[in-house]
Amino acid sequence: MSIPTFRELEEDIGSQLKEQGFLAAIVVDLGPLARIERSFGGATFRSLRSQVDPMLEEMRAKFRRDDLLTRDESEGDRFLLFLSGPRRGNTPFQSQHLRKLVDRVEEYVNPRVGRLTLPYLRERPRVGVGYGLVLWSPLESPQRQILRLVEDAVASEALRRQLRDRDQRESLIEIIQNREIWTGFQPIIDLTDRAIMGYEGLSRGPRGSDLEYPRELFGLAARYEMTEELERACRRQAFEDWKVLNREGRLFINTVPATVRDTSFLGRGVLDYLGPDLSPQGVTLEITERSVIENLNLYREAMHEFTDLGFTFAIDDVGAGYSGLETVAVLEPAYLKIDIALVRDVHLKTVSQQVVKAILEMGDSLGATVVAEGVETQPEADALLKIGVRWAQGYLFARPVDPYAELSPTGG
């Protein structure tokens, strides 16, 4: 049974307003989910929404069983919870209690919606929650008073979103400025004998927080247009953590196209990053930004600042759509890293096998080493080796190593 519109329950809501002398409502705005419909179609969106309604009903039962849960018919992704407040002579109304309830609703809804949208969105959407209040007036129709209540709740949601955005942006600035970032290092191994060729440095946010995971951390940076600032901090921290790890082999670090014009990382100044113990000849910069490089020839010229010092370049996610043939051909990277989507179940997918073979042929023509990312099962590794892929990384071989856990007495 679908959630009724608040128009359908308008008479009940009006009676509640008159009886209590006031009325409070909480709005839950699922508007951010609309992009799933735009990207994956109506059927996918309806399937997702069929899971959302029971979740909201469960929320009502958990927090406020007697409240009226409704849907805003003018905004199909907006839901309204009209609260059955204390009666006259009972516990007095206090707005702080309402604000705490709104916080609880937000804390309840967002993780659950995030899990539902995980297959579709790189960044977890933030569901907006707000509240409104109205006092009963015998001089105005209940319908008009209810509409003012809804408008108040929607305005509250917008204000709370603005304040949350400000807090999140300031938190991100603190993370970058205070270098609350660390690097996990995942080995790249030879499939023939499991020898380690090098390590990819994988940046992480503050330990134990939601932002520890790169998807969340870089998603937040993209939202506030601070990707380059975050990437710069991660790059510097990767070099510091590499010294702590103190392993043999080549260091691969993720970067964005803007790195080649970062004045703090150009020319001889880059040696300040590396320190006396790390040579540019042992570092490969992985281009991971999924936006198209507008002028490949100019970008290749800018790369010379680094290749002249001894750095090499890799193109990440080859086969994922970003790294087209022109990009690979013009930039002439030293390494091609096969996208995880092609690696997953490659032993079962003939098309993926053919694409991997094409990438190998492209690598041979460029003199580039091909590395398969995200190998998780032995059948995947066996299939890749049979096709001709020699180098790989993934959970099958090792999870990223925390250099500071390596220093702890227990070894982490």
pLDDT tens digits, one per residue of 3-27: 888 888 989 999 999 988 999 999 9
The residue-averaged pLDDT of 225-237 equals: 90
The predicted structure's pLDDT at residue 411: 44
Our CA dihedral for 375, 377, 380, 386, rounded to 10 degrees, sits at 100
pLDDT tier at 412 (50, 70, 90 boundaries)? very low
What does the mean pLDDT of the chain come to? 87
pLDDT score of 63 more than 60? yes
pTM tops 0.85, yes or no? no
The answer to whether 201 and 244 are in contact (CB under 8 A) is no
pLDDT score of 73 more than 80? no
Burial of 300 (0-12, 13-18, 19+ CB in 10 A): middle
The predicted structure's pLDDT at residue 86: 60
The residue-averaged pLDDT of 341-347 equals: 94
The predicted structure's pLDDT at residue 290: 56
The predicted structure's pLDDT at residue 137: 94
The residue-averaged pLDDT of 353-380 equals: 95
Six-digit token string for 284 = 């490969």
Element (H, E) at 184: strand 182-190
pLDDT score of 323 more than 60? no
The predicted structure's pLDDT at residue 356: 95
**The CATH fold of domain 10-168:** Alpha-Beta Plaits (3.30.70)
Pick from 115-129, 139-153, 164-178, 351-365: least confident: 115-129
pLDDT score of 334 more than 90? yes
The answer to whether 201 and 185 are in contact (CB under 8 A) is yes
CA–CA gap between residue 59 and residue 65 (Å, rounded): 9
Q: Where in the chain is the domain with CATH 3.20.20.450?
A: 179-392
Q: What is the CA radius of gyration of the chain?
A: 27
Comparing 43 with 294, the larger pLDDT belongs to: 43
The predicted structure's pLDDT at residue 265: 76
Task: Count how many Cα atoms sit within 13 Å of the Cα of residue 184 in the half-sphere of its side chain.
Answer: 17
The residue-averaged pLDDT of 152-162 equals: 94
Six-digit token string for 193 = 């004998």
pLDDT in tens, 269-281: 677 777 777 888 9
pLDDT score of 209 more than 80? yes
pLDDT score of 88 more than 90? no
Tell me whether strands 335-338 and 312-318 are parallel, antiparallel or unpaired.
parallel
pLDDT score of 54 more than 70? yes
The residue-averaged pLDDT of 150-158 equals: 94
Ramachandran angles phi, psi of 317, nearest 5°: 60, 35
The predicted structure's pLDDT at residue 361: 95
CA–CA gap between residue 338 and residue 318 (Å, rounded): 5
pLDDT score of 311 more than 60? yes
The answer to whether 82 and 60 are in contact (CB under 8 A) is no
The predicted structure's pLDDT at residue 6: 84
The residue-averaged pLDDT of 311-319 equals: 89
pLDDT score of 261 more than 80? no
Q: At 114, is the secondary structure helix, strand, or coil?
A: helix
The answer to whether 271 and 263 are in contact (CB under 8 A) is no
Q: Where in the chain is the domain with CATH 3.30.70.270?
A: 10-168
CATH no. for 179-392: 3.20.20.450
CA–CA gap between residue 92 and residue 174 (Å, rounded): 41
The residue-averaged pLDDT of 96-119 equals: 90
pLDDT tier at 366 (50, 70, 90 boundaries)? very high
pLDDT score of 355 more than 90? yes
